[in-house]
Amino acid sequence: MARKPKKGYFVRGQFVAEGSELDLQLKAELKHFQDNSKTELKRESTELQKLGEQLMSLRAELFDRLELPTSLVDAMDEARRITNFEGKRRQMQYVGKLMRQLDPEQVEAARAALEEQRAGSAQATLALHAAERWREDMVARDEALQEWIAQHPGTDSQQLRALVRQARKDRQPTQDEISRGQPPRHGRAWREIFQIVKETLQDEQQHDEPAADGTHDD
């Protein structure tokens, strides 16, 4: 009587009987691989949905430059309009689904645009802090005023000197403020100095930024 063949399968030319130790080992490895793959896919899906949420706050010129699919742009527009929490959550899941259909190059371009916006915001913040320091220093010291005019010859020095003089007068505390222990108030001149300094620094920053072809404006 012929012997009944064992049930099994071949792996790389080797027969693996069902229920054998090797069979159990291979199935455990397969399950581990599948579980890891599902975890990885879920992580990527979550990251892409989060990236889609971040893109909704991107500046218009950066967003338009990405040339995203119309279906994705429309889905983001709809998500912005929805105020209901559950409705917005479901819409953002749909945005995430559409984000997964993007090419890797489009995803990288989206991340680069977000980084460009973050870098620009950081530079703007630094410019504001620098403007505040210059204003404080110019009102406190004549030398600082001279340094600013020397470094920024395009400034209307006559106007700036007048504003600094007025800011110094405004800064003198009244007797009432002294008795109450209140800090001196700042007037219009104080605000105008800041505006002049800030705009000058921002203009210089934009002029120094490299053009799209890597060159500088002359």
Predicted confidence (pLDDT) per residue in 148-200, tens digit: 999 999 999 999 999 999 999 887 765 665 566 655 567 889 989 999 998 89
Return the SS3 of 169: helix
124-144 burial, b at 16+ Cβ within 10 Å, e below that, comes to: eeebeeebeebbeebbeeeeb
More confident position, 24 or 207: 24
Domain ranges within the chain, ordered by starting residue: 11-102, 124-206
Q: Residue 214: what pLDDT?
A: 47
The residues with which 17 forms a beta bridge, in sequence order, are 8
Band of residue 5 on the pLDDT scale cut at 50, 70, 90 = low
Q: Residue 72: what pLDDT?
A: 93
Residue 22 above 80 pLDDT?
no
Q: Residue 40: what pLDDT?
A: 65
Query: Which amino acid makes up residue 129?
Result: H
3-class SS letters over 6-21: CCEEEECCEEEECCCH
More confident position, 137 or 11: 137
Instruction: Identify the CATH number of the domain defined by range 11-102.
Output: 1.10.60
Q: Residue 15: what pLDDT?
A: 81
Please, what is the average pLDDT of the chain? 82
Return the SS3 of 154: coil
> Residue 174: how many CA atoms within 13 Å on its side-chain side?
6
pLDDT above 70 as % of the chain: 79
Residue 43 above 50 pLDDT?
yes
- Fill in the DSSP letter of residue 213: T
- The class (CATH top level) of 124-206 is mainly alpha
Q: Residue 158: what pLDDT?
A: 94
Burial bucket for residue 11 (CB in 10 Å: 0-12, 13-18, 19+): exposed
Q: Residue 193: what pLDDT?
A: 93
Burial bucket for residue 97 (CB in 10 Å: 0-12, 13-18, 19+): middle
Band of residue 10 on the pLDDT scale cut at 50, 70, 90 = confident
